Structure 1
Amino acid sequence: MASGYDVVIVGGGAAGIAAARTLASSGLSAVLLEAGPRLGGRARSETYGGRALDLGCGWLHSGERNAWTSIAEEAGFAIDRRTPAWGQQFHDLGFLPADQRAARAAFEAWIERMEASPPPSDHASDSLLPNCAWNGHIAAMTGFISGVGPERISVADYLAYDAAASECNWRLPDGYGTLVTRSLPERFAAFLSTPVERVALTADGVTLTTAAGDISARAVILTVSTAVLAGETIALPSALDPWREAAASLPLGRNEKLFLAISGKGPFEDETQVLGRPGDPTSGSHYIRPLGWPVIESFLGGDGARVAETEGADAAFAQAIDDLVALFGSDVRRMLRPLAASAWSADVRIGGAYSCALPGHAAARGLLARSYDERIFSAGEATNPTDFSTAHGAHDSGVRAAREAIGALGCGVRRPLTSP
C-alpha cells in the first residue's frame, strides 16, 4: 500500500463501493480501507446449500429507481420482481381476518394523523391513540421498518422516507450482498482488515493512522456507520465534533435475521409470510420458502431484535421455532433447524442495523452530509435525506461524496503531499 493518495475511502460497504466506482474514472489516485475481513458492510450474503442468504439488506427497495437495479442488470444478475407476501398472514393463522383489518387500519390511521397534524414534539409515539389495542402491532411494524419503537422516531424523518418509497420491492436470487461486493471496480485498490485508528488534519490534507502505517491524502471520504462515527473506534479531529453530534442524533436501530432450514414439505408453502405473535411488539416476521428455497427467513426488529441481542442467538432461534409451532402445529418442530443468524448490533465495526433520526433531529442528516473544508467528506445511508436505511440510499450518498471530492480536488490534477 502506498503512503499517499488523492482520496482515501474509509469503509467498504455500499457507500464506499459506490464512491470507488465514481472515483475509478476520475484520474485521481484513490484507495479503499475496510476495517473488517470482507467488503459489503451491512450488505452480506452467505451461501448455504448453494443458495445466497442475505443476512443484511435483502430487498431492492423502490426497485424501479434503485441504482443497484441497473447495476445488477448490467452485471447480469437475475432480479425477482414478484410482489412480496408482506402483510398477508398465511391462511389467517393466529390472526383472524377481522383483527388483520383492524391492525392495518390502526397503522394507516397512525400515519394519517402524523401527516395531517404532526405533533409539536416530533415524537411519533405522540400520534398513537391511548389504549389502542393495536399499538403493539404498530411498534412491531416500526421495529421492522426503523429498528426502533415509535417513541424514538422523528415524525418528520419517518414521513420523508414514507413519501419517497415506492411499492416496488424486488430481490436478487444471487444475493444483494453478492452484488454489492462484486461491484468494486476490478483494479481499484482496496485493503481489508485495515481499520483506521485516527484521522488528523494536516496543512494540505489529512493523515490516516492504521496498523499498517500512516497514509497521507488530500481528501478522505468517511462511509462508516453513525455508531462508529459517534463512538470511540476512530479518533477524529475536534473540528468534526458537529458531525459526531449529528451522528449521535441518528443512532442505528436494531434489526436481526435468522434463517431456519426446512426438511420436507410439511405445511410450509412457497412465498408466504406470518407474524409470529400478532400485536406483540417483540414479534418476528417469518417469510416462508423465499424463492421456493427450503428455508424460513425470520426478521426481528426493535424490541424483538433487542431480546435476541440480550438473550443470544440460541434463544432467538428457539422463540422463532416456538412461534411457528404455535401457528402450524407441533409436527413442524422436527422439520426445523437453525441455519444462520446475523449479529449487527454486536459487530463493533458497525453497531446496529440502520439509522433512525431521534425526535427533533431529522435535520441531522443534512448536517452529517456536509463536507469539512473540502477535504473530509461524509457518506452512508444516514446522510441520505429520504432513502436512509437502504443500500440504494447508501449508494447514492457515496456517489454524491465522491463527486464532491472530485470537484474539490480537480479531476486528474494531483498536487504533491508533504510528509505528515
Structure 2
Amino acid sequence: MTEETDVVVVGGGIAGLITARELGRQGLRVTVLEARDRLGGRVWTDHRLGRDLEIGGTWLHWVQPHAWAEVTRYGLDITRGPRPEQAYWLAGDERRTGTLDEFMELIDPGMRRLLADTMQRIPRPHAPLSEPGLESADAFSVQDKLDELDLPVEEYRANEAAWVGHFNAPLTDGAFTSALRWTAATAGSWHLMHEASAVFRLVGGTRSLVESIVADTDADIRTGTAAHRIEHDADGAVVTTSDGGAIRARRVVLTLPQNILGELDVTPELCAEKRAATEEGTASRGVKVWIRVRGPIKPFFAYSSASHPLSVARTEFLGEDDAVLVSFGADSSRISPHDTAAVADALRVWRDDLEVLEVTGHDWMADPHSRETWLMQRPQQLTRYFAAQQRAEGVLHFAGSDYANVWAGFIDGAIESGLRVAREVRTGLTTSP
C-alpha cells in the first residue's frame, strides 16, 4: 500500500527540519525520513567525558543571520569556552609559547595578504558566483596561494595550521575559494571570520536547537527510516523506504551531503554535475577529537602544522581536577578519536605535561550517512558544480548546508538552505496546475 503526502523530506538534519517546519506552516503534509536513530544530522550533542559534547557542528555567531534568528526565535542561550591564557605553536620543529594575541599578530600579515582580494572576488557572498572571473581563483588550492606568499617558516607554519583547523582537510585539496567565501561572509575580516567559526556555542548544545525546531512542527518525523529509492516524474515522486514502505508525494526535498547524494537510487538519475561532485568528493576528511586531561590546567590554544596528526587543540571545559580539550586534524585516517595513546602522543608536540584520561569522537568519514565533516570544496567545484547542486530537478529539490550561499558548511548555512528550498517548494506547488 502506498501512502500519500504533500512533501517528503529526506534527512532529519537542521536543513530538513527547517524545511519541514516552514512547509508545515503553509498547511502542507510533510513526512521526514531520517536514516539515523537520532535527529540533527552532522550536529550531535552527546554526553561523554562527563560533559555534553558537540560531536559534530558546534559554533555560531551573531554575524550568521539565519542561525541568530533561530537563537532569538527560541530564546536559546549562548556561551563560550574559557579564554586561553597560553598559546603554543611551532617554528619549524621548535616550540614557541606566548599569548593568543601574540599568535594572532604572528599570522596577521599572512592572513591579510592571502585574503586581500576577498571582496573583489566575492563582493556579494549571498551570490557567490555573481562576479565574473571567479574561475581563475577557483583553480587554486589554499596551499597553492599560501606557498605564493613565501612567508618565514614560523609565520608559514602558523598560518598553515590555522587553515587546517578551518578546513578540516589537507590544504592541497581545499579550494582557495572556500577560504574566500568564509571571509567574504564577514566582509573581508579574517579576525571576525576566525571568531565566528570557532568561539561561541549554545548553552544547551545543538540539541536544544534541534529540539526547538522539532517542537515547532507537526511533520511526521520518522527516525531509523532511510529513503531507499526515488522514482519521479512531472506529477510527483514515489519514495521507497528501507523498511519496504512506499510514499507518494507531490515534491521531495533531498538534504543529503555532497559525498553521498549521488549514491541514492534515483530514477531518472540526477544531473551529471551532482553525480560528478559526489564522485570527486569534498576536500574535508578530517577528525575532531574530544580529550579529557587531568587538571587543574590553565586554558590554552595550540597550533602545530598540516604534517601533524592533530593541528589544533584548545581548552573547552575546565573542572576542578580535569579539563576537556577539543582538537582537530586534517586526515581522519592518521589518527582515531578513540585511540587514547595516539592522541596523548599527538599532544606532546606542544606539551609534555598533559595526562590524557579519556578521548572520544566520531568518524564522520566512515559514517555512511555523511562520509564528510563540514563542507570544504575542492578546486573548481564551486564554479563547476555549485549552481547545479542548488538547482531543482523537476519535483526534486535540494537543501543542506553543503548547498548554502553564505555560510556553507555551518549551521547557518543549513538554515538558509532549508528556508530557500521551502520557499521554492511552496511556490512550485502554488503555481503548478
Question: Structure 2 length normalisation: TM-score?
Answer: 0.80
Q: Are residue 161 (structure 1) and residue 182 (structure 2) matched?
A: yes
| CA shift in 2, pair 1:318/1:173, >3 Å | farther
* CA distance in structure 2 between the partners assigned to 1:73 and 1:50 by the alignment: 29
Partner of 1:410: 430
Question: Which of 287, 292, 301 lines up with 1:273 in the alignment?
Answer: 301
Question: Which of 202, 205, 208 lines up with 1:172 in the alignment?
Answer: 202
Question: Structure 1 length normalisation: TM-score?
Answer: 0.82
* CA distance in structure 2 between the partners assigned to 1:116 and 1:401 by the alignment: 28
In the TM superposition, what whole-angstrom CA distance separates every residue of 1:253-310 from its partner, at most 9, and x where no partner exists?
0232222223441xx124x3223x357454332221437694323322323x3412xx
| CA shift in 2, pair 1:178/1:38, >3 Å | same
* CA distance in structure 2 between the partners assigned to 1:226 and 1:91 by the alignment: 34
Partner of 2:6: 6
Report the CA distance between 1:194 and its aligned residue. Answer: 0.6
Partner of 1:220: 252
Give the conservation status (yes or no) of the 8 Å contact 2:82–2:317.
no
* CA distance in structure 2 between the partners assigned to 1:186 and 1:337 by the alignment: 41
Q: Which amino acid aligns with 1:35?
A: A
Give the conservation status (yes or no) of the 8 Å contact 1:119–1:127.
no
Partner of 1:322: 345
Over the residues paired in the alignment, what is the CA RMSD in angstroms? 3.3
Report the CA distance between 1:106 and its aligned residue. Answer: 3.3
Give the conservation status (yes or no) of the 8 Å contact 2:29–2:219.
no
Structure 2: unaligned runs, 5 residues or longer: 122-135, 187-191
Report the CA distance between 1:96 and its aligned residue. Answer: 4.4
SS of residue matched to 2:378 = coil
Q: Are residue 76 (structure 1) and residue 68 (structure 2) matched?
A: no
Give the conservation status (yes or no) of the 8 Å contact 1:15–1:379.
yes
Question: Which of 363, 366, 369 lines up with 2:390 in the alignment?
Answer: 369
Higher mean Cα deviation, 42-51 or 27-36?
42-51
| CA shift in 2, pair 1:264/1:84, >3 Å | closer
Partner of 2:87: 89
Q: Are residue 286 (structure 1) and residue 313 (structure 2) matched?
A: yes
| CA shift in 2, pair 1:142/1:248, >3 Å | farther
SS of residue matched to 2:47 = strand
| CA shift in 2, pair 1:399/1:353, >3 Å | same
SS of residue matched to 1:261 = strand
Question: Which of 302, 310, 313 lines up with 2:330 in the alignment?
Answer: 302
| CA shift in 2, pair 1:292/1:188, >3 Å | farther
| CA shift in 2, pair 1:205/1:279, >3 Å | closer
Partner of 2:227: 196
Q: How many residues align?
A: 397
SS of residue matched to 1:57 = coil
In the TM superposition, what whole-angstrom CA distance separates every residue of 1:130-168 from its partner, at most 9, and x where no partner exists?
675254544433322122233223333331221113444
SS of residue matched to 1:219 = strand
Structure 1: unaligned runs, 5 residues or longer: 416-420
* CA distance in structure 2 between the partners assigned to 1:338 and 1:291 by the alignment: 15
